Amino acid sequence: MPSKSILEQKQAVVADLAEKMKNSPAGVVVNYQGITVEDDTKMRKALREAGVSYMVMKNSLTGRACDEVGLSDMKQYLTGMTAIAIANDDAVAPAKVLKEYAEKIESFQILAGYLDGKVVDEATVKQLADIPSKEVLIAKFLGSIKSPLYGLAYALQAVVDKDGEAAPEAAEAATEAPAEA
Q: What is the pLDDT along the chain (181 residues), one digit of tens a residue?
A: 678 888 999 999 999 999 999 999 999 999 998 888 999 999 999 999 999 999 999 999 999 999 999 998 999 999 989 999 999 888 888 999 999 988 988 888 999 999 988 999 999 889 888 888 778 888 888 888 887 877 888 888 888 888 766 555 555 554 555 545 4
CA dihedral 144→145→148→151, nearest 10 degrees, is -80
Model pTM above 0.75: no
The reply to whether CATH 3.10.105.10 applies to domain 4-131 is no
Sign of the Cα torsion 75, 100, 102, 10 reads negative
Do residues 108 and 38 touch, judged by C-beta distance below 8 A?
no
Closest CA to 66 of 102, 34, 111: 111
